[in-house]
Chain A
Amino acid sequence: MKLGDLAELAARNLREAVLRNSLTTLGISVGVASLVALLSLGVGLQQLVDRSVARAGLFDTISVRSRQSAPFGQPGGGRRNPRDAADLEPPRPLDDAARKEIAALPNVLEVNPEVRFTAEARREPVSELVMVSGMAESSQSSGMLDGLSGHFFSSPDAEEVIIQGDLAKRLVDLGQAPASLLGQEITLRFAQRQALPPPSEQASTDAPNQAVGPDEEAMGFSIVPSEKKFLVVGVTPTSDSGGGQVGLNNSGMYLPLAVAEKLQVVQQGDLREVSRSSGGEGTRYAALNIRASSPTAVAQIETRVTHMGFATFSLIDVTRNLRTFFAIFDMFLGIFGSLALAVASLGIINTLVMAILERRREIGVLKALGAADRDVRQLFFAEAGVMGLAGGLFGVLLGWVIGRAIQFATMIYLKRQGVNAPNIWSVPWWLVLGAIVFAVVVSLASGIYPASRAARLDPVEALRYE
């Protein structure tokens, strides 16, 4: 029998016992709805986490340090194999040559030095101790500044500052909005390095306040307090909304990276650099931040940089674990969601077995008229498939409605708790398609036994059946 005829006969048969078949289809719908609702919740939560991390630009960023520098929370550095031959060699300095070499690696978009220091932010009469970070031009498009009041730095060397919302709150007058800081000046007081002149010139020098470059620091440096005024051009919504590149988290203020570098501020590790005897060309960096072309390139870049003799750290490992967690979480949600569908499949079997009993004579007549076993089997499969398809479609719709209701209730609850309500609900197209296909497959699988039983009916016996 042709597919069109099969579908037509199946639909006709289903219409004949409309109540029973509707209830069976409703059972499938409830199963699919529970599956869709639970998996949508899992997908929504995963997307929420992914969005938060991705917006902060953490997935595509690698932090690099010299192996001699303070490692990333573990002896010997972050991603490091103790049996590497590099372990036997003296640690390689993180200098200009290394920066250029890293920048030349495939899939590396940019390599920026990490500049991060503690300073006092003053706006009379208030002063606050804050963490200040240099911000690369590329951060403008990373999403970490979403919701920014004001604008990004007008130029890479503009003496401008972007302030985190919470800090801005503390710096403004009581009752004023954080954004009222825009266009005002903030004074930053920080520790600045000043090079020590060679011993012969030390006595005659009279320019102690001139900041100098690292080459001139070969003899060491002195630390002096320094102040500089910056124009506030941007205020971010909150400090906990993500900090952009690794090393920028939890900073209260951001300066253009080039400006931050020029300040010659004393950073963590500077004292260690003074006591270290290693050489290096040009500027030596405490840390470099690599921005990869995509998160998938991070692992490969990390490997290359590690082989170059540096310690690396990225959130790939963390996110990999996170993804594993969500995969398991989704699997469990899927299993629980499928339980209802499993129960519904028993309903399909029951309905079709009942249909065989009721339509025994009809099957006999069909066979007498020339229906092959295959035709009868396909007819019952088609009926199961139609129920599965209808149940799947309605179930997806039902699941979507349930999901919207949960999202709505969650939003109301969180708003009452004074928390911003994120979107925890997502029904991607693959879930819609997958749920419908799954419903049809489960229905067809449920139809195997009844269809085989119907196909095996002896036509002579079936025709005698009253």
Chain B
Amino acid sequence: MCIGSPTRARNSAVKPLRVTLRSMNVSEAAASSNGFAIRAERVARHYRMGEALIRAVNEISLDVGSGEFLALLGASGSGKSTLLNLMAGLDRPSSGTILAMGRDLAAMSSEELAAHRNRTIGIVFQSFQLLPRMTLEENVELPLRLAEVPRVERPARVQEALERVGLAARTKHRPTELSGGEQQRAAIARALVNQPMILLADEPTGNLDTKTGEEIMSLIARIHWPPSGPGRTIVMVTHERALAERYADRIVTLSDGSISSEERLR
């Protein structure tokens, strides 16, 4: 199991996240039975396009330890986003097994997968994917609505999540009124509002300039290992090796749907 370095730069202004297994309805036994947050065993995802069979992910086996920050690198079309979607439960593997917090995603019903996406993981997209018709607080409240969190509890949790990403003053703004970096921070707040154990980020800095990208990575690093309490498992897809080397515990490089290399940094 890889754990991020405690010496990494942290921002003391950011509130610690108090995530417990109980809060996520995950049994501690299941979560720690093998010490892995995610385990992929010979996972394949194939698409048929006409006569051709596209092997987007080709029998990959990969473990992501609890609290580990894993960076998935690779060229476009290498299969890294597809692998991330499989881990998120947005897609189902053609073969193989993916265990998340000890549970086999391939064996889950669509309802269970939805609950997995809502409570066990948080997803951050390259293009933010905030709903433009809603204000920031409404966007961040969405996962709470889906989780059927009582209405009275929501405002405090939304406010807390937005404060954590430094957007407490922008709750009534719509996404179009924010900069790219602010939108991505809002998306991170939305991903974290249900206090998931795993954060999946698909090129979170891909649409941002270098400086803003750095800010977002700092934020993700703080989420990965907060000043107090347990850290989160993070799997980040990126094509920026420099960022990956700076923040990730491990880098896995994909090529043509298979793992081509693996580097442990910390």
Contacts and interface: CB of A to CB of B under 8 A. Distances in A.
Interface of A: 1-2, 4-5, 9, 12, 16, 361-362, 364-375, 459-460, 463
B247 interface: no
Interface string B117-158: 111000101000101011000000011011110010000000
29 contacts: A1-B145, A1-B148, A2-B148, A5-B145, A9-B145, A364-B129, A365-B131, A366-B142, A366-B146, A368-B88, A368-B123, A369-B118, A369-B143, A369-B146, A369-B190, A370-B118, A370-B119, A370-B194, A372-B110, A372-B111, A372-B114, A373-B110, A373-B114, A460-B85, A460-B90, A460-B91, A463-B90, A463-B125, A463-B129
Nearest to A8: B145
A389 B125 CA distance: 37
Contact of A368 (B90, B111, B133): B90
B106 interface: no
A9 B145 CA distance: 10
B117 A365 contact: no
Nearest to B109: A372
A459 B129 CA distance: 12
Contacts of B117: 367-370
A16 B114 CA distance: 26
B115 interface: yes
Contacts of B145: 1-2, 5, 9
A365 B111 contact: no
Contacts of A369: 117-118, 123, 142-143, 146, 190
Contacts of A361: 129
B203 to A, nearest CB: 13
Contacts, number: 64
Nearest to A369: B143
Nearest to A16: B133
B90 A371 contact: no
Given A1-B145, A367-B117, A368-B123, A374 B111 contact: yes
Closest 7 CB pairs of A and B: A370-B118, A372-B114, A370-B146, A5-B145, A370-B117, A369-B143, A365-B129
A366 B147 CA distance: 12
A4 B142 contact: no
Interface of B is mostly: helix
Given A375-B146, A463-B125, A370 B90 contact: no
A375 B129 contact: no
B159 to A, nearest CB: 19
Interface string B211-254: 00000000000000000000000000000000000000000000
Given A368-B123, A370-B143, A460-B91, A375 B131 contact: no
Contacts of B118: 369-371
Contacts of B147: 370
Contacts of A366: 142, 146
Nearest to B85: A460
Contacts of B129: 361, 364-365, 368, 463
Contacts of B85: 460
Given A362-B131, A364-B129, A368-B129, 8 more contacts: A2-B145, A4-B151, A5-B148, A367-B117, A369-B118, A369-B190, A372-B111, A463-B129
Contacts of B143: 369-370
Contact of A367 (B90, B115, B194): B90
A348 B161 CA distance: 38
B91 A371 contact: no
Contacts of A4: 151
Contacts of A364: 129
A5 B148 CA distance: 9
A16 B138 CA distance: 15
Which of B123, B142, B143 has the most CB atoms of chain A within a 10 A radius of its CB? B142
A446 B123 CA distance: 34
Contact of B146 (A1, A362, A373, A460): A1
A12 to B, nearest CB: 7
Contacts of B131: 362, 365
A459 B115 CA distance: 14
A225 to B, nearest CB: 93
A463 B119 CA distance: 20
A371 B146 CA distance: 6
B121 to A, nearest CB: 9
Nearest to A2: B148
Nearest to A370: B118
Contacts of B115: 370, 372
Contacts of A373: 110-111, 114
B49 to A, nearest CB: 14
A341 B194 CA distance: 43
Pick the most buried of A4, A5, A12: most chain B CB atoms within 10 A of its CB.
A5
A2 B154 CA distance: 14
Nearest to A6: B145
Contacts of B134: 12
Nearest to A13: B133
Nearest to A466: B127
B114 A375 contact: yes
Contacts of A12: 133-134
Contacts of A9: 145
A180 to B, nearest CB: 76
Contacts of B125: 368, 463
A460 B129 CA distance: 12
A370 to B, nearest CB: 2
A37 B237 CA distance: 62
Nearest to B138: A12
A368 B127 CA distance: 14
Nearest to B127: A463
A364 to B, nearest CB: 8
A268 to B, nearest CB: 81
A374 B125 CA distance: 24
A5 B110 CA distance: 21
Contacts of A375: 114, 146
Contacts of B148: 1-2, 5
Most chain B beta-carbon neighbours within 10 Å: one of A362, A369, A463:
A369
Most chain-B CB neighbours within 10 Å: which of A362, A370, A373, A374? Answer: A370
Contacts of B133: 12, 16
Contact of B90 (A5, A372, A459): A459
A383 to B, nearest CB: 14
A1 to B, nearest CB: 6
